[in-house]
Structure 1
Amino acid sequence: MNLSATIILAFGMSMDAFAASIGKGASLHKPKFSEALRTGLIFGVVETLTPLIGWCLGLLASQVVLDWNHWVAFVLLVFLGIRMVYEGIRGDDGEEAPKLQRHGFWLLVTTAIATSLDAMAVGVGLAFLQVNIIETALAIGCATMIMSTLGMMLGRFIGPLLGKRAEILGGVVLIGIGCQILYSHFSALS
Protein backbone atom coordinates (compact mmCIF):
# COMPACT_ATOMS: atom_id res chain seq x y z
CA MET A 1 0.00 0.00 0.00
CA ASN A 2 1.46 3.37 -0.98
CA LEU A 3 1.70 6.48 1.20
CA SER A 4 -1.39 8.23 -0.19
CA ALA A 5 -3.54 5.11 0.28
CA THR A 6 -2.28 4.80 3.85
CA ILE A 7 -3.12 8.44 4.62
CA ILE A 8 -6.61 8.13 3.11
CA LEU A 9 -7.20 4.91 5.07
CA ALA A 10 -5.91 6.52 8.29
CA PHE A 11 -8.18 9.56 8.09
CA GLY A 12 -11.12 7.44 6.94
CA MET A 13 -10.73 5.25 10.01
CA SER A 14 -10.64 8.34 12.26
CA MET A 15 -14.05 9.75 11.25
CA ASP A 16 -16.11 7.78 13.81
CA ALA A 17 -13.77 8.90 16.59
CA PHE A 18 -13.96 12.49 15.29
CA ALA A 19 -17.77 12.49 15.43
CA ALA A 20 -17.79 10.91 18.90
CA SER A 21 -15.23 13.39 20.22
CA ILE A 22 -17.31 16.35 19.03
CA GLY A 23 -20.13 15.01 21.20
CA LYS A 24 -17.74 14.42 24.10
CA GLY A 25 -16.38 17.97 23.81
CA ALA A 26 -19.86 19.48 23.59
CA SER A 27 -20.95 17.70 26.75
CA LEU A 28 -18.12 19.18 28.84
CA HIS A 29 -17.87 22.63 30.37
CA LYS A 30 -15.31 24.47 28.23
CA PRO A 31 -12.84 21.59 27.84
CA LYS A 32 -9.23 22.73 27.87
CA PHE A 33 -6.76 21.75 25.18
CA SER A 34 -5.13 19.35 27.66
CA GLU A 35 -8.44 17.46 27.98
CA ALA A 36 -8.86 17.43 24.19
CA LEU A 37 -5.31 16.10 23.81
CA ARG A 38 -5.94 13.47 26.52
CA THR A 39 -9.04 12.32 24.66
CA GLY A 40 -7.14 12.34 21.37
CA LEU A 41 -4.33 10.27 22.88
CA ILE A 42 -6.74 7.69 24.32
CA PHE A 43 -8.63 7.41 21.03
CA GLY A 44 -5.37 7.34 19.07
CA VAL A 45 -3.78 4.59 21.17
CA VAL A 46 -6.89 2.41 20.96
CA GLU A 47 -7.17 3.07 17.22
CA THR A 48 -3.51 2.08 16.82
CA LEU A 49 -3.98 -1.18 18.70
CA THR A 50 -7.21 -2.37 17.07
CA PRO A 51 -5.84 -2.83 13.51
CA LEU A 52 -2.91 -4.73 15.04
CA ILE A 53 -5.31 -6.96 16.94
CA GLY A 54 -7.42 -7.37 13.82
CA TRP A 55 -4.33 -8.22 11.77
CA CYS A 56 -3.37 -10.93 14.29
CA LEU A 57 -6.92 -12.25 14.35
CA GLY A 58 -6.99 -12.15 10.57
CA LEU A 59 -4.05 -14.48 10.53
CA LEU A 60 -5.91 -16.82 12.89
CA ALA A 61 -9.65 -16.72 12.26
CA SER A 62 -10.82 -13.86 10.05
CA GLN A 63 -14.40 -14.97 9.47
CA VAL A 64 -15.29 -15.18 13.17
CA VAL A 65 -14.11 -11.60 13.77
CA LEU A 66 -15.91 -10.26 10.71
CA ASP A 67 -19.13 -12.03 11.69
CA TRP A 68 -19.41 -10.27 15.07
CA ASN A 69 -17.49 -6.96 15.09
CA HIS A 70 -20.45 -4.91 13.81
CA TRP A 71 -22.73 -6.23 16.58
CA VAL A 72 -20.18 -5.46 19.31
CA ALA A 73 -19.68 -1.92 17.99
CA PHE A 74 -23.43 -1.39 17.65
CA VAL A 75 -24.22 -2.55 21.20
CA LEU A 76 -21.39 -0.51 22.79
CA LEU A 77 -22.22 2.68 20.91
CA VAL A 78 -25.97 2.42 21.47
CA PHE A 79 -25.42 1.71 25.18
CA LEU A 80 -23.09 4.71 25.56
CA GLY A 81 -25.43 6.88 23.47
CA ILE A 82 -28.52 5.96 25.51
CA ARG A 83 -26.56 6.67 28.68
CA MET A 84 -25.62 10.14 27.38
CA VAL A 85 -29.19 10.90 26.27
CA TYR A 86 -30.50 9.77 29.66
CA GLU A 87 -27.97 11.96 31.48
CA GLY A 88 -28.88 14.90 29.25
CA ILE A 89 -32.59 14.48 29.86
CA ARG A 90 -32.14 13.80 33.56
CA GLY A 91 -30.22 17.05 33.91
CA ASP A 92 -33.02 18.93 32.09
CA ASP A 93 -35.34 19.50 35.06
CA GLY A 94 -35.36 23.28 34.81
CA GLU A 95 -32.24 23.76 36.88
CA GLU A 96 -28.85 23.92 35.19
CA ALA A 97 -26.72 21.04 36.42
CA PRO A 98 -23.00 21.74 36.41
CA LYS A 99 -21.29 20.25 33.37
CA LEU A 100 -18.37 17.88 33.73
CA GLN A 101 -14.84 19.21 33.49
CA ARG A 102 -13.53 15.94 32.05
CA HIS A 103 -14.70 12.48 31.07
CA GLY A 104 -13.66 9.40 32.99
CA PHE A 105 -10.79 7.36 31.58
CA TRP A 106 -12.81 4.15 31.20
CA LEU A 107 -15.71 5.94 29.52
CA LEU A 108 -13.28 7.31 26.93
CA VAL A 109 -11.62 3.92 26.47
CA THR A 110 -15.00 2.22 26.00
CA THR A 111 -16.07 4.85 23.47
CA ALA A 112 -12.71 4.55 21.69
CA ILE A 113 -13.05 0.76 21.48
CA ALA A 114 -16.59 1.03 20.16
CA THR A 115 -15.58 3.52 17.45
CA SER A 116 -12.45 1.59 16.47
CA LEU A 117 -13.90 -1.86 15.82
CA ASP A 118 -14.06 -0.99 12.13
CA ALA A 119 -10.28 -0.49 12.29
CA MET A 120 -10.03 -4.00 13.71
CA ALA A 121 -11.98 -5.30 10.73
CA VAL A 122 -9.64 -3.37 8.42
CA GLY A 123 -6.73 -5.01 10.25
CA VAL A 124 -8.24 -8.41 9.47
CA GLY A 125 -8.34 -7.46 5.79
CA LEU A 126 -4.78 -6.12 5.89
CA ALA A 127 -3.58 -9.52 7.12
CA PHE A 128 -4.16 -10.78 3.57
CA LEU A 129 -2.25 -7.94 1.89
CA GLN A 130 1.44 -7.20 1.77
CA VAL A 131 1.47 -4.15 4.05
CA ASN A 132 3.64 -2.97 6.88
CA ILE A 133 1.00 -3.29 9.60
CA ILE A 134 3.03 -1.33 12.17
CA GLU A 135 3.33 1.74 9.90
CA THR A 136 -0.32 1.48 8.87
CA ALA A 137 -1.55 1.13 12.47
CA LEU A 138 0.60 4.08 13.59
CA ALA A 139 -0.78 6.20 10.73
CA ILE A 140 -4.34 5.30 11.75
CA GLY A 141 -3.57 6.08 15.40
CA CYS A 142 -1.94 9.44 14.62
CA ALA A 143 -4.80 10.49 12.34
CA THR A 144 -7.31 9.50 15.03
CA MET A 145 -5.41 11.41 17.72
CA ILE A 146 -5.40 14.55 15.54
CA MET A 147 -9.05 14.25 14.53
CA SER A 148 -10.27 13.42 18.06
CA THR A 149 -8.36 16.34 19.55
CA LEU A 150 -9.83 18.66 16.90
CA GLY A 151 -13.28 17.16 17.49
CA MET A 152 -13.09 17.88 21.22
CA MET A 153 -12.10 21.47 20.55
CA LEU A 154 -14.89 21.84 17.98
CA GLY A 155 -17.28 20.40 20.58
CA ARG A 156 -16.08 23.10 22.99
CA PHE A 157 -17.61 25.72 20.70
CA ILE A 158 -20.72 23.73 19.83
CA GLY A 159 -21.47 22.91 23.49
CA PRO A 160 -22.33 26.44 24.64
CA LEU A 161 -24.58 26.93 21.60
CA LEU A 162 -26.52 23.77 22.42
CA GLY A 163 -26.58 24.20 26.20
CA LYS A 164 -28.06 21.21 28.03
CA ARG A 165 -28.95 19.55 24.73
CA ALA A 166 -25.25 18.96 23.91
CA GLU A 167 -25.07 15.70 25.85
CA ILE A 168 -28.32 14.52 24.26
CA LEU A 169 -26.93 15.36 20.81
CA GLY A 170 -23.67 13.56 21.64
CA GLY A 171 -25.64 10.47 22.64
CA VAL A 172 -27.71 10.62 19.46
CA VAL A 173 -24.46 10.87 17.43
CA LEU A 174 -23.09 7.73 19.12
CA ILE A 175 -26.35 5.86 18.51
CA GLY A 176 -26.25 7.04 14.89
CA ILE A 177 -22.68 5.80 14.42
CA GLY A 178 -23.68 2.43 15.86
CA CYS A 179 -26.69 2.19 13.53
CA GLN A 180 -24.56 3.25 10.56
CA ILE A 181 -22.04 0.46 11.31
CA LEU A 182 -24.86 -2.10 11.46
CA TYR A 183 -26.49 -0.70 8.30
CA SER A 184 -23.17 -0.80 6.42
CA HIS A 185 -22.69 -4.42 7.38
CA PHE A 186 -26.14 -5.50 6.26
CA SER A 187 -26.08 -3.43 3.06
CA ALA A 188 -22.75 -5.05 2.12
CA LEU A 189 -24.42 -8.48 2.45
CA SER A 190 -27.11 -7.66 -0.11
Structure 2
Amino acid sequence: MHPFSILMLAVAMSTDAFAAAVGKGAAMRTPRFRDALRAGLIFGTIEAVTPIIGWALGLAAAAYVTAWDHWIAFTLLVLLGLRMIWAGVRPDGDPVAAEDAPLRHGFWVLAATGFATSIDAMAVGVGLAFLDVNILAVAATIGLTTLVMVTAGIMLGRVLGAMAGKRAEIGGGLLLIAIGAFILYEHLSGAA
Protein backbone atom coordinates (compact mmCIF):
# COMPACT_ATOMS: atom_id res chain seq x y z
CA MET A 1 0.00 0.00 0.00
CA HIS A 2 1.37 3.39 -0.97
CA PRO A 3 2.37 5.69 1.96
CA PHE A 4 -0.02 8.38 0.71
CA SER A 5 -2.87 5.83 0.74
CA ILE A 6 -1.93 4.88 4.31
CA LEU A 7 -2.04 8.53 5.37
CA MET A 8 -5.39 9.09 3.64
CA LEU A 9 -6.74 5.93 5.26
CA ALA A 10 -5.58 7.21 8.66
CA VAL A 11 -7.29 10.56 8.06
CA ALA A 12 -10.49 8.81 6.96
CA MET A 13 -10.43 6.51 10.01
CA SER A 14 -9.89 9.52 12.29
CA THR A 15 -12.72 11.69 11.00
CA ASP A 16 -15.47 9.99 12.96
CA ALA A 17 -13.34 10.28 16.11
CA PHE A 18 -12.74 13.95 15.21
CA ALA A 19 -16.48 14.48 14.80
CA ALA A 20 -17.12 12.87 18.18
CA ALA A 21 -14.36 14.99 19.74
CA VAL A 22 -15.80 18.20 18.31
CA GLY A 23 -19.14 17.23 19.81
CA LYS A 24 -17.54 16.42 23.16
CA GLY A 25 -15.57 19.68 23.09
CA ALA A 26 -18.74 21.61 22.27
CA ALA A 27 -20.49 19.91 25.18
CA MET A 28 -17.76 20.87 27.66
CA ARG A 29 -17.78 24.21 29.46
CA THR A 30 -14.13 25.07 28.84
CA PRO A 31 -11.98 22.38 27.22
CA ARG A 32 -8.38 22.43 28.50
CA PHE A 33 -5.45 21.15 26.44
CA ARG A 34 -4.60 18.55 29.10
CA ASP A 35 -8.10 17.08 28.87
CA ALA A 36 -8.04 17.22 25.07
CA LEU A 37 -4.68 15.41 24.96
CA ARG A 38 -5.97 12.78 27.39
CA ALA A 39 -8.98 12.16 25.12
CA GLY A 40 -6.65 12.04 22.11
CA LEU A 41 -4.46 9.42 23.78
CA ILE A 42 -7.46 7.26 24.68
CA PHE A 43 -9.01 7.48 21.21
CA GLY A 44 -5.65 7.09 19.45
CA THR A 45 -4.70 3.97 21.39
CA ILE A 46 -8.02 2.30 20.74
CA GLU A 47 -7.97 3.38 17.09
CA ALA A 48 -4.46 1.87 16.68
CA VAL A 49 -5.32 -1.47 18.28
CA THR A 50 -8.60 -2.22 16.49
CA PRO A 51 -7.19 -2.49 12.93
CA ILE A 52 -4.61 -4.98 14.21
CA ILE A 53 -7.41 -7.09 15.70
CA GLY A 54 -9.36 -6.87 12.43
CA TRP A 55 -6.23 -7.69 10.43
CA ALA A 56 -5.61 -10.81 12.55
CA LEU A 57 -9.21 -11.93 12.03
CA GLY A 58 -8.98 -11.27 8.29
CA LEU A 59 -5.64 -13.07 8.04
CA ALA A 60 -7.24 -16.18 9.48
CA ALA A 61 -9.70 -16.15 6.57
CA ALA A 62 -7.26 -14.92 3.88
CA ALA A 63 -6.43 -18.35 2.51
CA TYR A 64 -10.08 -18.91 1.66
CA VAL A 65 -10.74 -15.65 -0.15
CA THR A 66 -7.51 -14.66 -1.92
CA ALA A 67 -9.12 -14.42 -5.35
CA TRP A 68 -11.71 -11.96 -4.03
CA ASP A 69 -9.53 -9.94 -1.62
CA HIS A 70 -9.64 -6.66 -3.55
CA TRP A 71 -13.43 -6.90 -3.88
CA ILE A 72 -13.75 -7.55 -0.14
CA ALA A 73 -11.54 -4.55 0.72
CA PHE A 74 -13.47 -2.38 -1.76
CA THR A 75 -16.86 -3.49 -0.41
CA LEU A 76 -15.89 -2.96 3.23
CA LEU A 77 -14.47 0.50 2.54
CA VAL A 78 -17.49 1.57 0.48
CA LEU A 79 -19.95 0.31 3.10
CA LEU A 80 -18.02 2.02 5.91
CA GLY A 81 -17.79 5.18 3.84
CA LEU A 82 -21.54 5.16 3.22
CA ARG A 83 -22.16 4.59 6.94
CA MET A 84 -19.96 7.59 7.79
CA ILE A 85 -21.75 9.75 5.20
CA TRP A 86 -25.10 8.67 6.64
CA ALA A 87 -23.93 9.54 10.15
CA GLY A 88 -22.81 12.93 8.85
CA VAL A 89 -26.15 13.83 7.28
CA ARG A 90 -28.38 12.32 9.98
CA PRO A 91 -29.89 14.97 12.30
CA ASP A 92 -28.89 14.94 15.98
CA GLY A 93 -30.90 15.52 19.13
CA ASP A 94 -30.99 18.69 21.23
CA PRO A 95 -27.68 20.32 22.26
CA VAL A 96 -26.58 20.21 25.90
CA ALA A 97 -27.48 23.24 27.98
CA ALA A 98 -24.42 25.28 29.11
CA GLU A 99 -25.10 24.76 32.83
CA ASP A 100 -25.29 20.98 32.31
CA ALA A 101 -22.01 20.86 30.37
CA PRO A 102 -19.28 18.80 32.06
CA LEU A 103 -15.89 20.26 32.86
CA ARG A 104 -14.24 17.00 31.81
CA HIS A 105 -15.36 13.66 30.33
CA GLY A 106 -14.64 10.49 32.33
CA PHE A 107 -12.25 7.77 31.14
CA TRP A 108 -14.95 5.15 30.53
CA VAL A 109 -17.14 7.56 28.57
CA LEU A 110 -14.16 8.46 26.37
CA ALA A 111 -13.10 4.80 26.02
CA ALA A 112 -16.62 3.72 25.05
CA THR A 113 -16.87 6.54 22.52
CA GLY A 114 -13.39 5.71 21.22
CA PHE A 115 -14.32 2.07 20.77
CA ALA A 116 -17.59 2.98 19.05
CA THR A 117 -15.73 5.18 16.56
CA SER A 118 -13.05 2.52 15.99
CA ILE A 119 -15.32 -0.30 14.81
CA ASP A 120 -14.76 0.92 11.26
CA ALA A 121 -10.98 0.70 11.81
CA MET A 122 -11.42 -2.94 12.84
CA ALA A 123 -13.39 -3.64 9.67
CA VAL A 124 -10.72 -1.89 7.60
CA GLY A 125 -8.14 -4.09 9.35
CA VAL A 126 -10.04 -7.13 8.10
CA GLY A 127 -9.85 -5.74 4.57
CA LEU A 128 -6.14 -4.95 4.93
CA ALA A 129 -5.41 -8.59 5.76
CA PHE A 130 -6.05 -9.36 2.11
CA LEU A 131 -3.51 -6.79 0.90
CA ASP A 132 0.26 -6.59 1.18
CA VAL A 133 0.55 -4.02 3.99
CA ASN A 134 2.64 -3.48 7.09
CA ILE A 135 -0.21 -3.50 9.60
CA LEU A 136 1.91 -2.06 12.40
CA ALA A 137 2.80 0.99 10.28
CA VAL A 138 -0.83 1.42 9.25
CA ALA A 139 -2.08 1.03 12.84
CA ALA A 140 0.53 3.47 14.18
CA THR A 141 -0.38 6.00 11.51
CA ILE A 142 -4.08 5.65 12.31
CA GLY A 143 -3.41 5.95 16.05
CA LEU A 144 -1.20 9.03 15.77
CA THR A 145 -3.54 10.73 13.31
CA THR A 146 -6.46 10.03 15.63
CA LEU A 147 -4.54 11.40 18.63
CA VAL A 148 -3.89 14.67 16.78
CA MET A 149 -7.38 14.98 15.33
CA VAL A 150 -9.19 14.18 18.59
CA THR A 151 -7.01 16.57 20.59
CA ALA A 152 -7.68 19.31 18.03
CA GLY A 153 -11.36 18.36 17.86
CA ILE A 154 -11.86 18.76 21.61
CA MET A 155 -10.11 22.14 21.59
CA LEU A 156 -11.99 23.35 18.52
CA GLY A 157 -15.33 21.95 19.69
CA ARG A 158 -16.46 25.12 21.38
CA VAL A 159 -15.62 27.19 18.34
CA LEU A 160 -16.71 24.86 15.56
CA GLY A 161 -19.67 23.18 17.17
CA ALA A 162 -21.32 19.98 15.98
CA MET A 163 -21.81 21.07 12.35
CA ALA A 164 -18.10 20.93 11.46
CA GLY A 165 -17.91 17.47 12.99
CA LYS A 166 -20.72 16.31 10.70
CA ARG A 167 -18.92 17.69 7.64
CA ALA A 168 -15.70 15.95 8.67
CA GLU A 169 -17.54 12.66 8.94
CA ILE A 170 -19.04 13.09 5.45
CA GLY A 171 -15.58 13.92 4.09
CA GLY A 172 -14.10 10.87 5.78
CA GLY A 173 -16.78 8.66 4.27
CA LEU A 174 -16.08 10.02 0.80
CA LEU A 175 -12.36 9.45 1.37
CA LEU A 176 -12.95 5.81 2.36
CA ILE A 177 -14.98 5.21 -0.79
CA ALA A 178 -12.19 6.78 -2.88
CA ILE A 179 -9.54 4.59 -1.21
CA GLY A 180 -11.68 1.50 -1.84
CA ALA A 181 -12.05 2.45 -5.50
CA PHE A 182 -8.29 3.03 -5.78
CA ILE A 183 -7.51 -0.39 -4.25
CA LEU A 184 -9.94 -2.03 -6.67
CA TYR A 185 -8.41 -0.13 -9.60
CA GLU A 186 -4.86 -1.14 -8.55
CA HIS A 187 -5.76 -4.83 -8.42
CA LEU A 188 -7.90 -4.93 -11.56
CA SER A 189 -5.32 -3.03 -13.62
CA GLY A 190 -2.42 -5.14 -12.31
CA ALA A 191 -0.69 -2.13 -10.71
CA ALA A 192 -0.57 -3.77 -7.27
TM-score range normalised by the length of the shorter chain? 0.5 to 0.7
Write out per-residue CA displacement over residues 165-187 of structure 1, whole angstroms, 9 at most, x where no aligned residue.
Answer: x7xx89x96xx98xx8xxx9xxx
Quote the sequence identity (%).
50
CA distance in 1, matches of 2:112, 2:14: 16
Per the normalisation by structure 2, the TM-score is 0.66
For 1:19, the equivalent position in structure 2 comes to: 19
Aligned positions, number? 151
Per the normalisation by structure 1, the TM-score is 0.67
Write out per-residue CA displacement over residues 115-174 of structure 1, whole angstroms, 9 at most, x where no aligned residue.
Answer: 111111110011111111001100001111111111111103246xxxxxx7xx89x96x
For 1:44, the equivalent position in structure 2 comes to: 44
Is 2:134 the counterpart of 1:132? yes
Once the two structures are superposed, the pairs formed by residues 52-67 of structure 1 within 5 Å of their partners are: 52-61=52-61
What's the offset of the Cα at 1:48? Answer: 0.1
For 2:180, the equivalent position in structure 1 comes to: none
For 1:188, the equivalent position in structure 2 comes to: none
What's the offset of the Cα at 1:86? Answer: 7.4
For 1:149, the equivalent position in structure 2 comes to: 151
CA distance in 2, matches of 1:109, 1:87: 22
Write out per-residue CA displacement over residues 57-88 of structure 1, whole angstroms, 9 at most, x where no aligned residue.
Answer: 1123589xx7xx97xx99xx9xxx98xx5783
What's the offset of the Cα at 1:103? Answer: 0.5
What's the offset of the Cα at 1:3? Answer: 1.3
Q: Is the partner of 1:110 in helix, strand or coil?
A: helix
Alpha carbons of structure 1 residues 25 and 128: separation in structure 2 relative to 1, 3 Å: same
Once the two structures are superposed, the pairs formed by residues 64-75 of structure 1 within 5 Å of their partners are: none
For 1:187, the equivalent position in structure 2 comes to: none
Alpha carbons of structure 1 residues 87 and 22: separation in structure 2 relative to 1, 3 Å: closer
For 1:3, the equivalent position in structure 2 comes to: 3
Q: Which amino acid aligns with 1:148?
A: V
CA distance in 2, matches of 1:24, 1:97: 15
For 2:99, the equivalent position in structure 1 comes to: 97
CA distance in 2, matches of 1:87, 1:106: 21
Q: Which amino acid aligns with 1:117?
A: I
1:122 to 117, 121, 124: 124
1:110 to 101, 109, 112: 112
Q: Is the partner of 1:97 in helix, strand or coil?
A: helix
Write out per-residue CA displacement over residues 73-111 of structure 1, whole angstroms, 9 at most, x where no aligned residue.
Answer: 99xx9xxx98xx5783xx5xxxx6342111011111111
Calculate the aligned-residue CA RMSD, in Å.
Answer: 3.1
CA distance in 2, matches of 1:54, 1:61: 11
Q: Which amino acid aligns with 1:12?
A: A
What's the offset of the Cα at 1:2? Answer: 1.9
Once the two structures are superposed, the pairs formed by residues 168-187 of structure 1 within 5 Å of their partners are: none
What's the offset of the Cα at 1:6? Answer: 0.9
